Structure 1
Amino acid sequence: MKSVRPKKNLGQHFLTDLNIARRIADTVDACPAIPILEIGPGMGVLTQFLVTKEREVKAVEIDAESVAYLHEAWPQLRHNIIGEDFLRMDLRGVFGGKPFVLTGNYPYDISSQIFFKMLDNKELIPCCTGMIQREVAQRMASEPGTKAYGILSVLIQAWYNVEYLFTVNEDVFNPPPKVKSAVIRMTRNDVTDLGCDEALFKRVVKAVFNQRRKMLRVSLRQLFPQRMPGADFFARDIMTKRPEQLSIPQFVELTNLVAGVL
């Protein structure tokens, strides 16, 4: 069976270490008894361990060469291999509206977009695991007051508990990436309502982190292009902080303050 050529334009780096593949597959055990959707199976190095989990497994793969390979290598999955772009899929139809675990060796260049789509479908995805660029994993798991804490940290941790599980070196891939990788797991927390307007929450978080070196009283001004709030609004103690200093509850408080003057 002819191997699949890794394609640079798709950000393909195929994992070659079966022990690591098995460890990644085992991360889904934190959410048992629900189906699994794998993103970017490539030649199925992770898939071969996922199918032993005794639950339904589907895989979405944009690369036609990989899809053909998977059809030949895994004939039992033929009808569960989806040859589409994950970012364009309607996830409600994948398992008939049922919740599922999302996993995979995610393409580095679209991993953030994948997780933003996860957030848009958080009621369908109680658990998300997989391998990404180490720097992104560190940002996702970082705490307030750290250099890595940012947009991804806040938006994901508002809804998920994030675990940085282990680091993966470059030499277990074909071709080797130029950076280290990491395996993470995210499980839904108990939050069902942030306590503020969710769309505005996202706008506030993105706005202030886009000027992360500035105090909030400066970076928030871009949210008021028509009419600036009065001096009392910017005189609050929270306005002297920078975004990396704020916890998620403080971002909720900030969002409600902004909502009160918009």
Structure 2
Amino acid sequence: MKKNFRKYSPGKGQRPSHEEAEGEVRAKKHLGQHFLKDEDVAEKIGDTLSYSGYKHVLEIGPGMGVLTKYILRKEIDVHVIEIDTESVAYLQEHYPQLQGKVHEKDFLKHDLSEIFGQEQFAIIGNFPYNISTQIVFKMLELRQYIPEFSGMFQKEVAQRICEKEGSKTYGILSVLVQAFYEAEYLFTVPPSVFNPPPKVDSGVLRLSRKEDFSLPCNEKLFFRVVKTAFQQRRKTLRNSLKSFDLPENIKEDSIFGQRPEQLSTTQFIELTQIIEPHAVRD
């Protein structure tokens, strides 16, 4: 699936906001809630998934269901996971088609096999900024079950996930996500379409799992190498990876003279392959 998206700009004639029509749930600061209230933006996000190659989709943090209603129009089995009791009650009252599919759980802690078993499912959502990177890390842990992932983040986080090597914003998330997924930044959303409005722009991205998403190296070591390298991103790999206690002759390879942001995902895989024979097993 390939769609073209442009930066969203609110203007005359846009549809009435969800919040204005049905503003019954109070946004809670401690949950990082900013309820999307623009129907056009919600519909655009709902269209970011292909809804093909899997039977289920999980929406994280649906709030009052402004995005949910557009997902429900697709030919897909829709589940939502929501930690806010007030939102859960609202969803159960206003979306009878979700009966038995509203899970009052913490996504970061819940065992999703209780919902989907071993079947494939996509993830979508307007993600709370305060846990958005944690959501991505859990998605990576479950990558064998998640062929597609899309949603809204703080703009700079969405851009970082999709960034390529050579950029100052390229980092751990960029490398780990792009090792397993094709990452695409889709469009930018202004604060004005939320209630309450956040202080920054938001960005919507899509991740599509690679056809072959197994790595030709020890995956656990790959994660460790990437995270260790970027902990001291200004140093060359020869210095930032000292904790691996590698033989001096190995570090003569030119790759160790580079800084982590200079390496592509493929080069990090090659680096892991070089280190693997000498790495101490956990």
* Distance in 2 separating the partners of 1:31 and 1:167: 25
Number of residue-to-residue matches in the alignment: 258
Which residue of the other structure, out of 68, 87, 106, is the alignment partner of 2:127? Answer: 106
Taking every aligned residue pair, what percent have the same amino acid on both sides?
Answer: 51
- Residue pair 1:31, 1:127 contacting (<8 A) in 2 also: no
Alpha-carbon deviations, 1:108-164, whole Å to 9, x = none? Answer: 111111111111111111000111111111111111111111100000000000110
- CA shift, 1:2, in A, is 6.7
Q: 2:237 aligns with which of 216, 227, 230?
A: 216
The CA distance in 2 between the partners of 1:29 and 1:249, in whole Å, is: 27
Indicate which of 144, 158, 183 corresponds to 2:179. 158
Q: Deviations over 1:137-195 (max 9, x none)?
A: 11111111111111000000000001100000011100011111011100011223211
| Other-structure match for 1:232 | 249
Q: Is the 8 A contact 2:236 2:256 kept in 1?
A: yes
Aligned partners of 2:73, 2:110: CA distance in 1, in Å? 26
Aligned residues of 1:92 and 1:124 also touching (Cα < 8 A): no
1:63 paired residue among 67, 80, 84: 84
Deviation at 1:29, TM superposition (A): 2.5
Q: Are 2:39 and 1:22 equivalent residues in the alignment?
A: no
The letter for the 2-side match of 1:232 is N
1:233 CA displacement: 2.0
- SS class of match (1:119): helix
Distance 1:229 1:153 in 2: 26
What's the offset of the Cα at 1:232? 1.1
Residue 92 (structure 1) aligned with residue 113 (structure 2): yes
Question: How does the TM-score come out when normalised to structure 2?
Answer: 0.88
- 2:191 is equivalent to residue 170 of structure 1: yes
Q: Which amino acid in the other structure matches residue 196 of structure 2?
A: P
Q: TM-score, normalised by structure 1?
A: 0.95
Instruction: Kindly report which structure 2 residues correspond to 1:166-205, keeping only aligned pairs within 5 A, or say none.
Output: 166-205=187-226
Output the CA distance in 2 between the equivalents of 1:32 and 1:253: 31
- Give the distance between the partners of 1:236 and 1:29, measured in 2 at CA: 43
Q: Residue type matched to 1:237 in 2?
A: S
Look up the SS of the partner of 2:149 in the other structure.
strand
CA RMSD between the two structures: 1.3
Q: Which runs of 4+ in 1 moved over 3 A?
A: 30-33
SS of equivalent to 2:249: helix
